[in-house]
Structure 1
Amino acid sequence: MNTKNYTVLSVAVAIAVGALLPSSGVFAAPSHKAKTSAAKSAAAKPSASKKAAAANALPPLAAQVALAPNAPALQSKAWLLMDFDSGEVLASANADEALPPASLTKMMTSYIVEQALRSGKLKPTDLVTVSENAWCRGTSAESCMYLPLNSQATVIDLLRGIIIQSGNDASKAIAEHMASSEAGFAKLMNAEAQRLGMTHTHFVNPTGLPDPTHKSSARDLAILARAIIRDGAEYYPLYAERDFKYNGIKQGNRNALLYTDPTVDGLKTGHTAEAGYCLVTSSKRNDTRLISVILNTHSPQARADQTRTLLGWGFGSFEKVTPFATNAVVATAKVSFGKADKVDAGLGTPWLLTVPRGTKVQTVVELKPDLKAPLAKGAVIGKVVASANGKPVGEAPLVAQTEVEQSTWLLRAWQHVGQWFGK
Structure 2
Amino acid sequence: MKYKYKIASLFMAAFIFFMPVSLAASQNKIVGLDDNVKAYLIGNEESGEVYYEKNADEPMPMASLSKLMTFLVTMDAIKNGNLSLDTKVKADKEAENLTSWQYSSLGVKEGETYTVDELLKGLIAVSGNDCAYLLANTISVSEPAFAREMNEKAKSLDLKSQVYYNSSGIQTEDGHQNTTSAKDLFKLSQYILKTYPEILDYSAIREIKDPARDIDKRSTIPLMDEIKGVDGLKTGTTDEAGYCLVSTVDMVKLDSKDEFRTIGVVLGADRKDTRNKVMSDLIYYVSKYFSTRTVLDTNVPVKSIKDITVKQGYIDLYPKEDIKMIVKEGENPTIKYNIKEDVKAPIKENQDLGEIEISYKDESQKVGLFSKKALDKASLFSRVIRTIKDSCDFLLKTLIAR
Provide the TM-score with structure 1 as the length reference. Answer: 0.64
Structure 1 residue 178 corresponds to structure 2 residue 145? no
Greater RCO between the two (CA within 8 Å, min separation 6)?
1
In structure 2, what is the equivalent of residue 282 of structure 1?
Answer: 248
Residues 243 and 271 in structure 2, CA contact (< 8 A), matched pair in contact too: yes
**Structure 1: gaps (5+ residues):** 1-61, 331-344, 367-382, 400-423
2:280 maps to amino acid: R
In structure 2, what is the equivalent of residue 369 of structure 1?
Answer: none
In structure 2, what is the equivalent of residue 79 of structure 1?
Answer: 40
In structure 2, what is the equivalent of residue 5 of structure 1?
Answer: none
Assess, with a 3 A threshold, how the Cα gap between structure 1 residues 260 and 395 changes in structure 2: closer, same or farther: same
Assess, with a 3 A threshold, how the Cα gap between structure 1 residues 176 and 398 changes in structure 2: closer, same or farther: farther
Deviations 1:50-74 (A, max 9, x none): xxxxxxxxxxxx99xxxx7223423
1:135 is paired with a residue of what secondary structure? helix
1:89-238 aligned within 5 A: 89-136=50-97, 138-210=99-171, 211-238=175-202
Deviations 1:94-124 (A, max 9, x none): 0011110001111111122223334443311
Equivalent pairs counted in the alignment come to 299
**Structure 2: how far apart are the matches of 1:140 and 1:213?**
20
Assess, with a 3 A threshold, how the Cα gap between structure 1 residues 97 and 150 changes in structure 2: closer, same or farther: same
1:272 maps to amino acid: T
2:265 is paired with a residue of what secondary structure? strand
2:176 maps to amino acid: P
Residues 83 and 354 in structure 1, CA contact (< 8 A), matched pair in contact too: no
In structure 1, what is the equivalent of residue 5 of structure 2?
Answer: none
Root-mean-square deviation over aligned CA pairs? 3.1
**Structure 2: how far apart are the matches of 1:169 and 1:85?**
32
Deviations 1:319-367 (A, max 9, x none): 1235456999x9xxxxxxxxxxxxxx977xx86432212422125699x
Structure 1 residue 305 corresponds to structure 2 residue 271? no
1:140 is paired with a residue of what secondary structure? coil
Assess, with a 3 A threshold, how the Cα gap between structure 1 residues 355 and 180 changes in structure 2: closer, same or farther: same
1:393 maps to amino acid: D
In structure 1, what is the equivalent of residue 29 of structure 2?
Answer: 70
Assess, with a 3 A threshold, how the Cα gap between structure 1 residues 113 and 365 changes in structure 2: closer, same or farther: farther
Structure 1 residue 353 corresponds to structure 2 residue 325? yes
**Structure 1: how far apart are the matches of 2:92 and 2:324?**
48
2:66 is paired with a residue of what secondary structure? helix
* Residue in structure 1 matching 2:288, options 293, 297, 316: 316
**Structure 1: how far apart are the matches of 2:144 and 2:268?**
26
Residues 86 and 353 in structure 1, CA contact (< 8 A), matched pair in contact too: no
In structure 2, what is the equivalent of residue 50 of structure 1?
Answer: none
In structure 1, what is the equivalent of residue 218 of structure 2?
Answer: 252
1:296 is paired with a residue of what secondary structure? strand
2:95 is paired with a residue of what secondary structure? coil
Assess, with a 3 A threshold, how the Cα gap between structure 1 residues 213 and 357 changes in structure 2: closer, same or farther: same
2:205 maps to amino acid: E
**Structure 1: how far apart are the matches of 2:217 and 2:163?**
30
**Structure 2: how far apart are the matches of 1:206 and 1:96?**
22
**Structure 2: how far apart are the matches of 1:326 and 1:158?**
49
Assess, with a 3 A threshold, how the Cα gap between structure 1 residues 137 and 357 changes in structure 2: closer, same or farther: closer
1:280 maps to amino acid: V
In structure 1, what is the equivalent of residue 394 of structure 2?
Answer: none
1:321 is paired with a residue of what secondary structure? strand
Deviations 1:215-260 (A, max 9, x none): 1111111111112221223342211221112422211112221221
Alpha-carbon distance, 1:285 to partner: 2.1
Structure 1 residue 292 corresponds to structure 2 residue 299? no
Assess, with a 3 A threshold, how the Cα gap between structure 1 residues 183 and 263 changes in structure 2: closer, same or farther: same
1:113 maps to amino acid: T
Alpha-carbon distance, 1:396 to partner: 5.4
Identity of aligned residues (%): 29
1:294 is paired with a residue of what secondary structure? strand
1:294 maps to amino acid: V
Provide the TM-score with structure 2 as the length reference. Answer: 0.67
1:368-407 aligned within 5 A: 386-388=358-360, 392-395=361-364
1:358-369 aligned within 5 A: 358-363=330-335
Alpha-carbon distance, 1:314 to partner: 1.0
**Structure 2: how far apart are the matches of 1:115 and 1:212?**
26
In structure 2, what is the equivalent of residue 26 of structure 1?
Answer: none
Deviations 1:278-326 (A, max 9, x none): 1110111221211111111111111111111111001111112354569
Assess, with a 3 A threshold, how the Cα gap between structure 1 residues 365 and 197 changes in structure 2: closer, same or farther: farther
Q: Work out which of the two has the higher radius of gyration on C-alpha atoms and give 1 or 2.
A: 2
**Structure 2: how far apart are the matches of 1:205 and 1:384?**
52
Deviations 1:150-205 (A, max 9, x none): 32210100000100111111101110110111111111211221222312111111
2:61 is paired with a residue of what secondary structure? coil
Residues 279 and 295 in structure 1, CA contact (< 8 A), matched pair in contact too: yes
Alpha-carbon distance, 1:263 to partner: 1.0
Assess, with a 3 A threshold, how the Cα gap between structure 1 residues 327 and 112 changes in structure 2: closer, same or farther: farther
* Residue in structure 1 matching 2:203, options 223, 239, 257: 239
Compare 130-139 and 223-232 and name the one that shifted more. Answer: 130-139
1:133 is paired with a residue of what secondary structure? helix
